Structure 1
Amino acid sequence: MTLDFVFTAKALIIGLLTGLMSGGFGVGGGIVCTPLVRIFLDVDPHVAVGTTMALIVPTSIAGAFNYIKKSQFDKVMAAKLAPTAILGTIAGALATQYIHPQLLMILFALLVFVAGLDLALGIGQNLKVQREKEAALLRNIVSTPEVKFPVIATKETLPVVVSEALPATGIAPYFLGLAAGLFAGFFGVGGGFLLVPCLLYFYRFGVKAAFGTSLVVIAAVAIPGTVSHGALSHVSMELALLMIAGSIPGSFLGSALALKLKDSWLRRGFGIVMLIMSITMAVREFSPMAFSQVSGNAPKAEDSAKRPN
């Protein structure tokens, strides 16, 4: 079967935009890819989620490799998060077959709205800046010989500062990994939106260590998540390959833009776009016919699912 030109062009552009998100913000890009696939390609909701998970495989592995190479991740925490995250991802993927497709997309729209609100208001970014300041203070303390450890900052100075990354003790990391995996498998996202804030706030990781540890876990869950969705016929390999092709230049362009443009502008601007996209997505699911013109000549859901891999 020959590729539909409009479908191919849209898939490549979606891949490009996903790559921009990934390169500019250091995430897998699933949070933006799924709604774009659903809105502009009119792909079945389950296929949109599963195919997006397939796109996360190369982006997360590439990102994780860079952090591993620079030792910017916590091995102990990653080892605790990954096993339960993998189980959670498989369970989340299998659970999608028991939920109505429209409800799945409405829940995803809510997730995108929350993520967009975070970017637009800069909540997560403020937390990262706070952790960077704490890490800088810790380095200054370590370089001062007359100061003895342990060092605990007071409420008048900073929150508790003991190290950039507290030890991964207890069973909490296992439950965190399970929760992140369930979200990843269910919504076809990497789970970094949940892992990074928790690593920053609860375990006081440095920003780079939080990103690196999160990407290592995402890389671990992406493949079993894709296989699980594939077993349910939720993955269109043709669409996935097209988006991967578009995401490669997008990642490079996103990295370049992130270095040139002011970070706060990027985050808030993209956050506003995500808010608009989430509302559009929700309205579309409540009123499917209202957006029937959006997809143009793009293949229908069943066509996308049945295309040869």
Structure 2
Amino acid sequence: MTASTVLAVLAVGAATGFLGGLFGKGGSALATPVLAALGIPAIVAVASPLPATIPGTLLAARQYARAGHVDRRVLAWSAAVGLPATLAGAAMTRWIAAESLVVATDLLVAGLGMSILVGAGRGAARRAGSGPSAAELAGPPSALGSETTTAAAPGAVDGLAGAAGGVALLAPVADDPPAGGVGAIVGVAVVVGVVAGLLANSGGFLLAPLLLVVLRLPVRPALGTSLAVSAALALPGTVAHAALGHVDWGLVGVFGAASVPLAAVGARTALRIDPHRLEVVFGAVLVLAATVLLAWA
């Protein structure tokens, strides 16, 4: 790589890491089109960000876990179901045109973003029409509806490194299940896993909004859990592409040098933002990103 390319990859890695940590995604899907535009061969631009984003995604997930914002039940089911679904999606690439799937996924992301914005607007209207509840005055509860529910204990993401993205799955969880229960979790994991396999990314760009809209997780647990699951789902794609010789490890090193530390910074930034404002920003970014990608397609 030339010096100018190295600088450009560092900039892309920094932006990808920060935005991934901020919005709960691994970031490979964000990096691929930009790297391709810089002249990186298409298959290398697809494959190389995956291994580079795994450590940054884990660091960002750890920030959320330390603050109590990783839902262990969703994480366990998503990893268990999502990993084989990712492999199935990768195998299906020989029959499904990736271009049509990308367009359908962008439309879905735009719709999810609009749903998040509408839900955030309704929540703001309800809060404006009533004062603080007794629960709010008493502090955050431990049920799943709160920002701290079913969350991993501090440091939990060190538990299963390599086996499931380095996130512990063994601690007890709260009694209240996400909306729809295990069936809804499995459905979300299958969709995200298959799409991740088909598009050769970690699926985080789709997982976080589905956790918000379908499972109705609060925004911070949705983002934190999405990061932890994304790290796990990136593993099979990394192994497959590395075996096929699609990974440029020099590019991985340059990209990761910027993306890894910035992912943790992005996560810490998200944890300092008011959760209701974060939800609005997240929904707006989804709609904007999907619109840009649809126009680009």
- TM category (shorter chain) comes to 0.5 to 0.7
Q: Output the TM-score relative to the length of structure 1.
A: 0.65
- Over 3 Å counting, the alpha-carbon distance change for 1:83 and 1:256 in structure 2 is closer
| Contact persistence 2:69–2:220 (CA under 8 A) | yes
- Over 3 Å counting, the alpha-carbon distance change for 1:254 and 1:109 in structure 2 is farther
**SS at structure 1 position matched to 2:41:** coil
| Match of residue 5, structure 2, among 7, 20, 32 | 7
> Where in structure 2 are the equivalents of 1:270-289 lying within 5 Å?
272=288, 275-276=291-292, 278-280=294-296, 282=297
1:173 CA displacement: 1.8
Letter of the 2:295 partner, please give it: I
> Where in structure 2 are the equivalents of 1:166-245 lying within 5 Å?
166-168=176-178, 169-245=181-257
2:162 maps to none
CA distance, structure 2, for counterparts of residue 135 and residue 192 of structure 1: 30
CA distance, structure 1, for counterparts of residue 282 and residue 218 of structure 2: 22
**SS at structure 2 position matched to 1:235:** coil
1:62 CA displacement: 0.9
CA distance, structure 1, for counterparts of residue 238 and residue 25 of structure 2: 17
1:273 CA displacement: 6.6
Residues paired across the two proteins, number: 257
- Over 3 Å counting, the alpha-carbon distance change for 1:222 and 1:130 in structure 2 is farther
1:124 maps to 116
The superposition leaves residues 21-56 of structure 1 with CA deviations (integer Å, 9 ceiling, x where unpaired) of: 224434322232111112222412x33222222232
Q: What is the root-mean-square deviation of aligned Cα atoms in Å? A: 4.1
The superposition leaves residues 135-174 of structure 1 with CA deviations (integer Å, 9 ceiling, x where unpaired) of: 99898254799xxxxxxxxxxxxxxx99447515343322
| Match of residue 25, structure 1, among 6, 10, 23 | 23
CA distance, structure 2, for counterparts of residue 40 and residue 28 of structure 1: 20
- Over 3 Å counting, the alpha-carbon distance change for 1:41 and 1:196 in structure 2 is same
**SS at structure 1 position matched to 2:216:** coil
Q: Output the TM-score relative to the length of structure 2.
A: 0.68
CA distance, structure 1, for counterparts of residue 204 and residue 85 of structure 2: 14
- Over 3 Å counting, the alpha-carbon distance change for 1:172 and 1:37 in structure 2 is same
| Contact persistence 1:131–1:200 (CA under 8 A) | no
- Over 3 Å counting, the alpha-carbon distance change for 1:107 and 1:9 in structure 2 is farther
The answer for unaligned runs of 5 or more in structure 2 is 150-175
2:170 maps to none
1:82 CA displacement: 0.9
1:216 CA displacement: 1.7
2:152 maps to none
The answer for unaligned runs of 5 or more in structure 1 is 146-160, 283-309
1:109 CA displacement: 6.1
- Over 3 Å counting, the alpha-carbon distance change for 1:252 and 1:214 in structure 2 is closer
The superposition leaves residues 254-292 of structure 1 with CA deviations (integer Å, 9 ceiling, x where unpaired) of: 5798779x9778975896576445534x3xxxxxxxxxx
| Match of residue 69, structure 2, among 54, 66, 72 | 72
- Over 3 Å counting, the alpha-carbon distance change for 1:16 and 1:143 in structure 2 is closer
CA distance, structure 2, for counterparts of residue 50 and residue 124 of structure 1: 30
| Contact persistence 2:144–2:177 (CA under 8 A) | no
CA distance, structure 2, for counterparts of residue 77 and residue 94 of structure 1: 25
| Match of residue 50, structure 2, among 53, 56, 77 | 53
The sequence identity of aligned pairs, in percent, is 26
| Match of residue 40, structure 1, among 38, 41, 47 | 38
1:184 CA displacement: 1.8
| Contact persistence 1:86–1:221 (CA under 8 A) | yes
**SS at structure 2 position matched to 1:185:** helix
CA distance, structure 1, for counterparts of residue 41 and residue 216 of structure 2: 40
Q: Looking at CA atoms only, which structure, 1 or 2, has the larger radius of gyration?
A: 1
CA distance, structure 2, for counterparts of residue 8 and residue 109 of structure 1: 31
